[in-house]
Amino acid sequence: FFANVELVPGDPILGLTEAYNADSRSTKVNLGVGIYYDESGRIPLLRAVKQIEQQLADEAKPRGYLPIDGLPAYNQATRELVFGKDSPLLAAGRVATSQTIGGSGALRVGADLLHRLLPHATIAISNPSWENHRAVFGAAGFEVVEYSYFDPTTHGVDFDAMLADLGKLQPGTVVLLHACCHNPTGADLTVAQWKQVAELLKDRQLFPFIDMAYQGFDKGISEDGAAVRIIAEAGIDSFVVANSYSKSFSLYGERIGALSVVAPDAASAKAVQSQVKRIIRTIYSSPSNHGAALVAGVLNSVELRQVWEAELTEMRERIHALRHGLVENLVAAGAPEFAFINDQAGMFSYSGLTRPQVDRLRDEFGIYAVGTGRICVAALNQGNLAYVAKAVATVAKG
Ligand code: LMR
């Protein structure tokens, strides 16, 4: 049966880690995958996570199945984090949250749900968007189209073009929006621009699908969640939010995320949740416990939550410092044209490096970046900054 199976290309992001791992050069740097590394080049195990993990180990609870839609305490804490504790949507019972297998799982379950409920809808994603968005929604049966987003000359958002393209979409189109720390560009909307987008979505009857994988990685938990509140306040009565704790809790391998569905009233939220549960049951039955127990344990403890918020602030501020450090080192290496990196947000920068330049970075310097020129700023440290800056300046000139 498998004699003539076609070999498909490796994943454009995760495939890079495989190549990086196989590279024997001691100077190698992985700026490919979106992972935050600390100053010693390690993925941090957060202090808050370590503490709750110890507590849970001491409790030695039995490991029964979780409900299909996950740990209730986790879903409640997630709703409050994503929408704000005082959100009128929560008070009205209009938000149904389900624990999912990472943010990617939330995207796929959300995609399956929407394709089931809106079978003729297409989805519009930003140009560019996370490499996997097109694939996830395509796999769920959606036709995927793009709206303009990034301006390579300013290295920021081309807002007029974005509004113009959104304004042309058919009513009922699903629009995928990055709440903050846009992946791959690092170019975000301002609060004023979000308000305009929300009005347009409402007027044109477009359906917002918000992907929030980096809450707390740019300005703060509440500030980075502004898009969700603005869309709710615009009076859009139905939308979905996928969120992830991979980055904000440094829990990548625990695959812990959630899908929150906002419905016009509590009864319809319940009905949509029943559909979500049916979808989950037929893919993986129910999610796993550990990551959810960690996140819920931290978010629901006053003391541990404070520890976590301080650690999140440390990570965010360190990324800002790394951006500045990279720009300074690039200037010193004779490449002042990269100053825009300071204005971008979150883990990533769309560096403007071309595919051949990215290939040269890998081949000559052992520095791995995504083929589109996306680099993960959060993988830098004081030990590799000057090396990376020199290499980038060299390939940019050549
Ligand atoms: C990324 O964009 O690098 C991360 O979201 C990890 C992934 O799964 O691609």
| 0.95 exceeded by pTM | yes
Q: Compute and round to an integer the Cα radius of gyration of the chain.
A: 21
Q: Phi-psi category of 260—alpha, beta or left, where left has phi over 0 and alpha has psi -120 to 50?
A: beta
| pLDDT the model gives residue 310 | 98
Distance in angstroms (rounded) separating the CA atoms of residues 365 and 344: 25
DSSP 24: -
Looking from the CA of residue 132, the nearest atom of ligand 1 is 9
Pocket mutation for ligand 1, best pick of 33, 182, 244 (most atoms within 8 Å of C-beta): 33
Q: What is the pLDDT of residues 109-165, one digit of tens each?
A: 999 999 999 999 999 999 999 999 999 999 999 999 999 999 999 999 999 999 999
- Count how many residues are written for the chain: 398
Pocket mutation for ligand 1, best pick of 37, 126, 130, 372 (most atoms within 8 Å of C-beta): 130
Ligand 1, atom 4, lies closest to the CA of: 34
Report, as residue numbers or ranges, the catalytic residues: 130, 211, 247
Mean pLDDT, the chain, whole residue set: 97
Distance in angstroms (rounded) separating the CA atoms of residues 230 and 91: 17
Mean pLDDT of 48-77: 97
Q: What is the pLDDT of residues 242-292, one digit of tens each?
A: 999 999 999 999 999 999 999 999 999 999 999 999 999 999 999 999 999
| pLDDT the model gives residue 398 | 81
Task: Compute, in angstroms, the gap from residue 89 CA to the centroid of ligand 1.
Answer: 30
CA distances from 287 to 97, 163, 338 (A): 13, 38, 43
Around ligand 1, the residues with Cβ closer than 6 Å are 13, 33-34, 130, 132, 183
Percent of the chain with pLDDT over 70: 100
Looking from the CA of residue 183, the nearest atom of ligand 1 is 2
- Whether 10 has a pLDDT exceeding 90, the answer reads no
Looking from the CA of residue 130, the nearest atom of ligand 1 is 2
Looking from the CA of residue 184, the nearest atom of ligand 1 is 2
Task: Compute, in angstroms, the gap from residue 199 CA to the centroid of ligand 1.
Answer: 30
Looking from the CA of residue 370, the nearest atom of ligand 1 is 3
| Three-state SS sequence of 260-278 | EEECCCHHHHHHHHHHHHH
Task: Compute, in angstroms, the gap from residue 59 CA to the centroid of ligand 1.
Answer: 34
Task: Compute, in angstroms, the gap from residue 212 CA to the centroid of ligand 1.
Answer: 13
Mean pLDDT of 233-249: 97
Task: Compute, in angstroms, the gap from residue 396 CA to the centroid of ligand 1.
Answer: 25
Percent of the chain with pLDDT over 90: 99
* Whether the bond into 128 is cis, omega within 30 of 0: yes
Q: Does the structure's ipTM exceed the value 0.85?
A: yes
Encoded tokens for 48: 């808050």
CA distances from 311 to 49, 81, 116, 318 (A): 11, 16, 40, 10
Half-sphere exposure (Cβ direction) of 64: Cα atoms closer than 13 Å: 5
Q: What is the pLDDT of residues 72-117, one digit of tens each?
A: 999 999 999 999 999 999 999 999 999 999 999 999 999 999 999 9
Task: Compute, in angstroms, the gap from residue 32 CA to the centroid of ligand 1.
Answer: 9
What are φ and ψ of residue 282, in 5° steps?
-90, -5
Encoded tokens for 198: 């929300």
Ligand 1, atom 5, lies closest to the CA of: 34
Ligand 1, atom 1, lies closest to the CA of: 34
Ligand 1, atom 6, lies closest to the CA of: 34
